[in-house]
Amino acid sequence: MNWVTYVANTLWGLWAWLCFVVACLYSLLVAIFVPGDHRRQKLVTFAAKMIFVFAGVKVTVRGIDNLPTDSCVVVANHASYIDGPLLNGYLPARFGFVIKGEMRDIPVVHFLLRRSGSKFVERKEMTGSARDARQLVRAAQDGESLGFFPEGTFLLQRGVGRFRPGAFVAAIKGDMPVVPVAISGAREMMPSGRHLPRMSDLVIDILPAISPGDDDYAPSRKLAEASRQRIIAAIDEPDLLADES
């Protein structure tokens, strides 16, 4: 990489960060002053999408017709820091995203996410985890559309890992279809450990929904694996569990 490319990449990365910071400040003002859950979610969704628009990132969304108009559970592969803002910006505003419970420890972030419709799930403390799981099931039974990254975290290593069961239990309890979503390009833009993003095209593939009422997928583990395999088939990354089979 020559110095001209290096400088251009650095300037773009700083500009992308500025777009993100401005969107966060706007969203915080929305969270503080705008009444009504749905109105806040629509405005925060708009702000998330504008991060990518103003940064000049090409985002392609395919299969939007696969997204049910009624309540559903979206599950996506997790490869990068940008996955959350990306889906928040390009999926309908009705989705509440499920965030790791550690975000409760950052008061401003917790306030913003909670006021914009996010849910939280504790991953380390068993009591908190059970409580949060019950809340997710109630939200699903009440007809809320939920978005999950069921791997729970992301690694520098390319590939799709094990899916945690929470999303699929909620879908079964709420009798809602599961929609696998495959994200491509995010790992190239901002992988684990990278603090300055680099330009990359992004693709969101919304895959056909899976009904939890289908006997082939009745147990949550089968539903999780079916979703995982569909995502793996749609992206250019390996199955990190292949050696276990």
Alpha carbon distance 214, 216 (integer Å): 5
Three-class secondary structure of residue 107 per DSSP: helix
Per-residue pLDDT, averaged over 187-196, amounts to 92
Which burial class, exposed, middle or buried, applies to 106 when counting CB atoms under 10 A from its CB (0-12, 13-18, 19+)? exposed
pLDDT of residue 16: 98
Contacts of 14 (CB under 8 A, 6+ apart): 196
pLDDT digits (tens, 9 = 90+) for 70-116: 899 999 999 999 999 999 999 999 999 988 777 777 888 888 888 98
Q: Say if residue 213's pLDDT is above 80.
A: no
Residues 3-244, CATH architecture: 3-Layer(aba) Sandwich (3.40)
pLDDT digits (tens, 9 = 90+) for 149-178: 999 888 889 999 999 988 898 888 888 999
pLDDT of residue 215: 64
pLDDT band for 126, please (50, 70, 90 cuts). very low
The alpha carbon of residue 96 and the mean position of all alpha carbons in its chain are separated, in whole angstroms, by 10
pLDDT of residue 34: 96
Chain position carrying tokens 């991060």:
51
Per-residue pLDDT, averaged over 199-217, amounts to 88
pLDDT digits (tens, 9 = 90+) for 34-51: 999 999 999 999 999 999
Alpha carbon distance 159, 191 (integer Å): 12
Chain position carrying tokens 């820091």:
81
Instruction: State the average pLDDT for the chain.
Output: 89
Secondary structure E strands in 65-177: 73-76, 95-100, 119-121, 145-148
Q: Say if residue 216's pLDDT is above 70.
A: no
Specify whether the CB–CB gap between 134 and 117 falls below 8 A.
Answer: no
Which letter does DSSP use for residue 160 in this model? Answer: B
User: Quick one: which of 177, 181, 168, 180 has its CA closest to 213?
Assistant: 177
Q: Say if residue 128's pLDDT is above 50.
A: no
Give the start-to-end residue ranges of the domains of the chain. 3-244
